Structure 1
């Protein structure tokens, strides 16, 4: 090594802005980006001034592009505090660095668990409450000697869809997988399985405050009139099998608002006694 080379020299100032930005954005882990910001004062200022924590978080969760501004509940400074415009701008950048960095880190550190808290509404129910949507919160297909499942109303047209609406445990959740189990009617001849042909998922928030205690599950809540859906999944085929079927999302999804819409598309099984097509489900589970 040449004697004149300074091994402690910071190479970042020698690179142009775009190259430095591209290099640091290859750090896909928020922890690595946090470590990079601690290398030196110059690196720290570069990460904050260019909003790299925010950019990484938006790359992980595009649903956050609609966020206008962020706040901290325990911030020592407010936006209205006096000071130069440069100081205020830097305070905003620092706040975004902390908030988006914390959110990205939490999303990578989550523990896998089920996170549906309430069943809100079904587009139809054959016999309420015996075959209501609340039964899908129970993972077993029998409670004691009683069958536990949700049943749609019967339809002559097998293409008629059904929807189920759920509330998640929090208003901000990262969802990776949704599991559904079709019901096998063991009490009918041939034990038919009433699955859907395919399923699609939407996530979002309610347009107005929704009092869950006052929701009448016997009445259908329109998913488009009452909610804004910020994420729509691909359509997944559903097997006509009595097992817990796992539908893994292409990438983790940040659900802002805490509501899930399950769209059941098409019907596979005709009921022998009335000749109509139904969808029956045992349970719906979400994984963080």
Structure 2
């Protein structure tokens, strides 16, 4: 007995919506032509994706390669034919999306740093330093007498359409200060979104974005809960309760509260050594176009098969890294003399053999 033929449609839908694994829905679509048509007609792939990622409720429509074969015997050119073609396109798009979001390789998704809400000594303590896993490099906020003043670090992801699963942060330990204090935050929170318009995209790509104007240039479509941060220098992992679909490719880290006071000036600072954003990049199979001012977006299928993004990292040579560290040595040395801080031992900045091997 085929229960889809015997049961009421609502009851059949109720049963099939208990399927949460994309592979199960693939099997359902493969049982027979009638079951396949049932999946398409009732948008079961779209319903599954919406349960996985509520952010997809902002999809205005789907466009893609017109390679779907009509499975319903319909009259050519009829309105029903066009409606069925749209249903098939949506079925294909959401089926591909669900499978990509659960099968693509999890990797670091950061492309570049955009701006920090404040920087103590620029460019020595720039946000750019948080993209390199070296203990000598770090970003530092400006000092504050109020330990509750927050800081924000904003990044561009490697894709405008990606699934983020966790963010990892390593607070900076000031090995050159007495007691080697750790300048962590009390807690962290994460926001994801997109630029308000094309002009804002150009501004941040050109670096023409002041710390005070950053929040005015982006629309945040997701805000996480607060995660407590430990007073530890190692890489701390903050796993999101559910994977989040980031549409627009912008991620912001909010560092809430300050723990460590600097001995020389009595002010509170927050410092970060390294940031890593783990997730799945969905291009070149998918693309998005954000529609302003509504905030909805067009989901585009660029390839009818699952093709993963293959980043080509630009890895600096050992000579380039040594040159950058030598420049930083001089800047840090001069900065500490001017501020009356503890002098820095230049030998501390030399790369060890293990660090050089990791970089190469």
TM-score, normalised on structure 2?
0.73
Equivalent of 2:178 in 174, 189, 210 = 189
Residue 271 of structure 2 aligns with which residue?
A: 280
Structure 2 CA distance for aligned equivalents of residues 14 and 140 of structure 1: 64
Structure 2 CA distance for aligned equivalents of residues 281 and 195 of structure 1: 7
Q: How many residues of Structure 1 are paired with residues of Structure 2 in the alignment?
A: 269
Structure 2 CA distance for aligned equivalents of residues 202 and 261 of structure 1: 5
Residue 334 of structure 2 aligns with which residue?
A: none
Structure 2 CA distance for aligned equivalents of residues 66 and 278 of structure 1: 39
Residue 139 of structure 2 aligns with which residue?
A: 150
Q: Deviations over 1:233-272 (max 9, x none)?
A: 1100000111100000001111111110100100001111
Residue 238 of structure 1 aligns with which residue?
A: 229
SS in 2 for 1:191: coil
Structure 1 CA distance for aligned equivalents of residues 219 and 93 of structure 2: 24
Equivalent of 1:172 in 157, 161, 173 = 161
SS in 2 for 1:156: coil
SS in 1 for 2:231: coil
Aligned 1:122-133 pairs, distance under 5 A: 122-133=116-127
2:5 maps to 1:13: yes
Equivalent of 1:31 in 23, 28, 42 = 23
2:81 maps to 1:87: yes
- Contact 2:115–2:214 (CA<8 Å) still a contact in 1? no
Deviation of 1:31 after TM superposition, in Å, equals: 1.9
Q: CA RMSD in A?
A: 1.4
Structure 1 CA distance for aligned equivalents of residues 101 and 237 of structure 2: 21
Structure 1 CA distance for aligned equivalents of residues 102 and 180 of structure 2: 43
Structure 2 CA distance for aligned equivalents of residues 279 and 216 of structure 1: 24
- Contact 1:121–1:221 (CA<8 Å) still a contact in 2? no
Structure 2 CA distance for aligned equivalents of residues 70 and 168 of structure 1: 23
Deviation of 1:83 after TM superposition, in Å, equals: 2.2
Name whichever of 9-18 and 101-110 sits farther off: 9-18
Deviation of 1:105 after TM superposition, in Å, equals: 0.3
Looking at secondary structure, tell me which structure has more helix per residue: 2
- Contact 2:148–2:256 (CA<8 Å) still a contact in 1? yes
Structure 2 CA distance for aligned equivalents of residues 216 and 250 of structure 1: 34
Q: Deviations over 1:17-59 (max 9, x none)?
A: 1211111111111121122012112111111111000000010
Q: Which ranges in structure 2 are unaligned for 5 or more consecutive residues?
A: 69-75, 280-360
Quickly say closer, same or farther: Cα 1:48–1:107, change in 2 above 3 A.
Answer: same
TM-score, normalised on structure 1?
0.90
Extract structure 1 runs of 4+ deviating beyond 4 A. none
Structure 1 CA distance for aligned equivalents of residues 245 and 212 of structure 2: 23
SS in 2 for 1:70: strand
Structure 2 CA distance for aligned equivalents of residues 236 and 222 of structure 1: 26
Deviation of 1:224 after TM superposition, in Å, equals: 2.9
Structure 1 CA distance for aligned equivalents of residues 170 and 122 of structure 2: 20
Structure 2 CA distance for aligned equivalents of residues 226 and 21 of structure 1: 42
Structure 1 CA distance for aligned equivalents of residues 18 and 2 of structure 2: 19
Quickly say closer, same or farther: Cα 1:163–1:121, change in 2 above 3 A.
Answer: same
Aligned 1:216-255 pairs, distance under 5 A: 216=208, 219-220=210-211, 222-255=213-246
Quickly say closer, same or farther: Cα 1:38–1:50, change in 2 above 3 A.
Answer: same
Q: Deviations over 1:120-173 (max 9, x none)?
A: 0000000000000000001121xxxxx200000000100000001000111111
